[in-house]
Amino acid sequence: MYYKKLTEKRNKVIIKTIFIVMLLTSQAYGDDNLVVNLMEIARQNITQAKLQDGSFIPSETEAEKLYPIIPIEDARRIVAVGQKSGIAAWCGIEWQKSIFSKLMEDERSKKTWTQKQLAYIGLLHGITMGSFEKAARDANGKCSKEQADKILKSLKE
């Protein structure tokens, strides 16, 4: 229990730090510990994700839990996109079509993911996005016009 609270506190500090780095550099930043923790949170909530047919993903077997749903290399990329979506959402910038839909379209076009993996990718993105939107709001309150302009510029790059 103590370790879990310490890990949650550490993640909040990391997310706030990454948020500041993103604002200053217009770049997403990844820490593998954070990525792994976000992957685990997404995995714990996998039964809330919907498949393309609208059904929910069934609980995983013990054998399935032994392996990551997607490789960490891909998770890093998904988390980076989720970071951008979270910051955009904080500033009231449209992110669903310009960021999330494009991500999912790109992932589907690879034709390498199962329906479960695609649902997990969407869930991982959403958890990351929500974490970063909250961190941005907690760290800075409301997004300023200058911050919004900088974020819009970085999204176009």
Residue 25, domain extent: 2-56+64-156
Domain count, the chain: 1
Q: How far is CA 59 from CA 44, 111, 131, 148, 157, in A?
A: 9, 24, 24, 40, 39
Model confidence pLDDT, tens digit, residues 124-134: 999 999 999 99
Rounded to whole angstroms, the Cα distance separating 15 from 41 reads 15
Contact 22, 28 (CB under 8 A): yes
The H-assigned helical ranges of the chain are 2-25, 32-44, 72-90, 102-109, 115-140, 145-156
pLDDT digits (tens, 9 = 90+) for 42-59: 999 999 999 989 999 999
DSSP string, 79-125: HHHHHHHHHHHHTT---IIIIIIHHHHHHHHT----HHHHHHHHHHH
pTM of the model: 0.81
Q: Which of 16-20, 21-25, 145-149 has the highest mean predicted lDDT (pLDDT)?
A: 145-149
